[in-house]
């Protein structure tokens, strides 16, 4: 979590978030971000340190502002039927209002894997955060450790693959059906069943 920002830094960050959600980050310059925020390069550097730090903070802020996304992982751990929680989680991910963020997510991923030395923190968080949160959800729902880790990896792969297909234009109903079928299989597979 980042430290508290001044009201001006928050205002500038909000404008940068809007810009990158609408235009992406590939090839964006600090000057273009400053222009979009109604500021100048020096002010952005003063508040954020570097273009990379600004973009990183803007991506996290975009995630937090995407309807339901920042609550998706905690909700998986709440009481109730796990299958319903997972299906609701997928529908939150694929919601139309979150697609600008999904496009930004995949764009930033492509940049990060091309330049891993510049984006090691982003890649580490990408690899670990969602996996750990999903694994914990399976543990909370009574799965043993090894099965929970295996199921988390399978679910994360399913979600990311379906997001890719969604952004490529696949039919939402078909993706929902494929998701729900895969979740049903995952939850009934003997190698990945809960202990209770």
Where residue 80 sits, what CATH number does that domain have?
1.10.357
CA distance 129 to 133: 6
Average pLDDT over residues 106-112: 92
Q: Quick one: 45 and 76 in the same domain?
A: no
117 and 74 in a common domain? yes
Asked if pLDDT for residue 191 goes beyond 60, the answer is: no
At residue 195 the predicted structure's pLDDT band, cuts being 50, 70 and 90, is low
What is the average pLDDT score of the chain? Answer: 92
Residues spanned by the domain of 151: 67-192
| Final residue before a domain boundary, out of 32, 47, 63 | 63
Instruction: Return the pLDDT at 35.
Output: 97
Least confident span in 27-36, 114-123, 187-196: 187-196
33 and 78 together in one domain: no
pLDDT at 129 over 60: yes
In a domain, 2, yes or no: no
Of 11-20, 59-68, 76-85, which range is least confident? 59-68
Q: What is the pLDDT of residue 194?
A: 58
> Is it the case that residue 15 has pLDDT exceeding 90?
yes
Residue 142 pLDDT > 90, yes or no? Answer: yes
Whether residue 77 is found in the same domain as residue 147: yes
Considering the domain architecture, whether residues 51 and 88 belong to the same structural domain is answered as no
CA–CA distances in Å: residue 186 to residues 29, 103, 189: 44, 27, 5
Residue 147 dihedral angles phi and psi, to the nearest 5°: -65, -40
Tell me: do 117 and 165 sit in the same domain: yes
Q: Is 80 in the same domain as 162? A: yes
Note the pLDDT of residue 52: 87
Q: Is residue 151 part of a domain?
A: yes
Count structural domains, the chain: 2
Alpha-carbon torsion (58, 131, 97, 7), positive or negative: negative
Within a domain: residue 169? yes
């Amino acid at each position: 979590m980042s430290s508290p920002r001044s009201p001006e830094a928050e205002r500038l960050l909000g404008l940068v978030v809007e810009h990158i959600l609408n235009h992406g980050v590939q090839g964006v310059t600090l000057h273009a971000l400053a222009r979009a925020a109604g500021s100048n390069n020096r002010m952005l550097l003063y508040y954020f340190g570097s273009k990379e730090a600004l973009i990183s903070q803007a991506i996290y802020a975009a995630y937090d502002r995407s309807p339901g996304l920042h609550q998706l992982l905690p909700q998986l751990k709440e009481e109730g039927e796990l299958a319903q929680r997972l299906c609701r989680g997928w529908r939150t991910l694929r919601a139309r209002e979150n697609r600008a963020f999904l496009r930004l997510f995949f764009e930033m991923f492509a940049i990060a894997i091309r330049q891993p030395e510049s984006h090691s923190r982003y890649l580490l968080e990408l690899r670990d955060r969602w996996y750990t949160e999903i694994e914990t959800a399976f543990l909370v729902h009574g799965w043993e450790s090894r099965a929970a880790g295996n199921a988390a990896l399978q679910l994360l792969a399913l979600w990311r693959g379906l997001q890719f297909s969604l952004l490529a234009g696949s039919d939402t109903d078909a993706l929902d059906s494929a998701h729900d079928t895969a979740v049903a299989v995952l939850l009934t597979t003997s190698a990945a069943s809960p202990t209770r």
